[in-house]
Amino acid sequence: MVNINLDPQTLSDPAFIDFVRRCLLSYAISPEKICFEITEYSALNNFTEVLRHIQKLRELGCSFAMDDFGSGFASFDYVKRLPVDFIKIDGQFVRDINQNAIDKTMVRAVTDIAHALGKQVIAESVEDADTMETLRQLGVDFGQGFHLGRPEALYAHEPHPVAPAIRRIQHKQDFFAIENIV
């Protein structure tokens, strides 16, 4: 799966949905391979429009992740109201999870809530085996961090099946950032 970080301006742009649709068709990409990451701030100014765009992109088959969960003030409200598939727990709650009981409690609570809502959980900043094991014990579904693999160029080893479309998105929308879920 390829994750694409979206900023609020892009997510609110009415032309973006048609652009994604054209890219998926032109490059024969399975939309299930694309996950758009948004932050809770993405919906602050125009919640109705953002919600409509998320729903349309999900109808195409793309998935969504709420990135940096827990770092803002409206997290739980947005998880309840936005149709995202994944919750990415911000690294500030993961880094010291084995030394800080409050961080561990927060990760457990967010994981339980996300699962109760039918969403999967990704923990950011998985930097060592002990952290990974703790996250497993807490029921976290996925991890992302240096312990699991260093970030590398999308095209470093061989052409990725979505490479042409990603390059086109990068060219047209130079504020996209791409990362792989590990």
**CATH of segment(s) 1-84+151-182:** 3.20.20.450
Of the ranges 7-11, 37-41, 89-93, 151-155, which is most confident?
89-93
pLDDT at 28 over 60: yes
| Residue ranges matching CATH 3.20.20.450 in the chain | 1-84+151-182
pLDDT at 56 over 60: yes
Q: Could you say which DSSP state residue 7 is in?
A: -
Each residue of 110-123: pLDDT tens digit? 999 999 999 999 99
Q: How far apart are CA 42 and CA 63, in angstroms?
A: 16
Residue 10: CB atoms within 10 A of its CB come to 20
Confidence of residue 80 (pLDDT cuts 50, 70, 90): confident
Average pLDDT, the chain: 81
pLDDT at 37 over 60: yes
9 three-class SS: helix
Q: What is the pTM of this model?
A: 0.72
CA atoms lying within 13 Å on the CB side of residue 154: 18
pLDDT at 177 over 50: no
CA atoms lying within 13 Å on the CB side of residue 48: 0
Higher pLDDT, 177 or 18: 18
Higher pLDDT, 162 or 109: 109
Higher pLDDT, 140 or 26: 140
C-alpha distances out from residue 23 to 33, 153, 169, Å: 13, 21, 8
